[in-house]
Amino acid sequence: MADKKHYSGSTGVVILRFDGGDYAIVSENHSGDIPSACLALLVPNAALPGRAAEAIDCLTSDGFRVVAFNQVGTDDLVYTLVKSGR
Amino acid sequence: MSIFERILEAISGLDVEEIEIKFRNGKKKKFKLDGLSGSIALERITRWLSNIDWDKVKEVEIELANGEELKFKPNGSGDSGIPAPMGPSGVVNLRFDSATYAIVSEDHSGVIPFDCLALLQPDPALPNRAAAAIDCLIEDGFEIQSFSLIGTNDLIYTIVRS
């Protein structure tokens, strides 16, 4: 993907699944340019409640936007955050 | 319409043999299609043209497979070429497993970059593919236009470049 130069900035995508009850991160999938500080927060761990907002805050501070969100199963939410680089 | 858009519109449906760009400093750049045609050729051309510094372009000559030649000149200093978002239109419907992030299925139409198509292969044995595929498309100017939960665990995103 290094040959793409359509936009001036870098792009990144994070798909974040978290528990809507305790906000612990259930799982995540990411690609592109993700700040290391945010990556450190994106660790799935049921024993760490209240991590979702912290991770989302870190990403949105870096220019990511929540562009999709869905409830999955009984309690989980899946947010997709994108930095488009435009 | 920028020179970039005018070129893409003019060559739509035509078989391009070669593109030559003449710069104001006298330098030239050539791009040969080597027999490629259709959407594959258009995708290659779009990608190549998107890397041109249009502010420095004096003239573009396009040689068609039938021997005809098309010429384009920038309209002026404001004609910097690439609109945003750029490129021909495309749509990808992407269904993925929200537990494993493996791609369950996909459907696409229009001009989709090859490297993104390579990532859009449904395979439950390949987890964590969804973000890479979406990132590839976003990098190429696509945007998530709609999203929905389907079944218990799957998500469907429609990703569009208009």
- CB contact under 8 Å between A71 and B149, yes or no, is yes
Q: Compute mean pLDDT per 10 residues along chain B, 162 residues long, and list them.
A: 78 85 89 79 81 84 88 70 61 94 92 89 92 93 92 92 84
ipTM here: 0.82
Distance from CA of B81 to the nearest CA of A (A): 11
Q: What are phi and psi of B92, to 5 degrees?
A: -130, 125
Q: Which of B50, B130, B147 sits opposite A29 (nearest CB)?
A: B130
Q: What is the pLDDT of residue B77?
A: 56
Q: What is the pLDDT of residue B1?
A: 66
How much is the mean pLDDT over chain A?
88
Cβ contacts of B97 on chain A, cutoff 8 Å: none
Cβ contacts of B51 on chain A, cutoff 8 Å: 3, 5
d(CA B108, CA B101): 19
Taking CA atoms, B69 is separated from B20, B28, B32, B133, in Å, by 11, 17, 14, 38
Q: What is the rounded average pLDDT of the residues A47-65?
A: 94
Distance from CA of B64 to the nearest CA of A (A): 26
d(CA B67, CA B63): 6
d(CA A49, CA B41): 51
- CB contact under 8 Å between B131 and A17, yes or no, is no
Cβ contacts of B138 on chain A, cutoff 8 Å: 11, 13, 32, 82, 84-85
Q: What is the pTM of this model?
A: 0.62
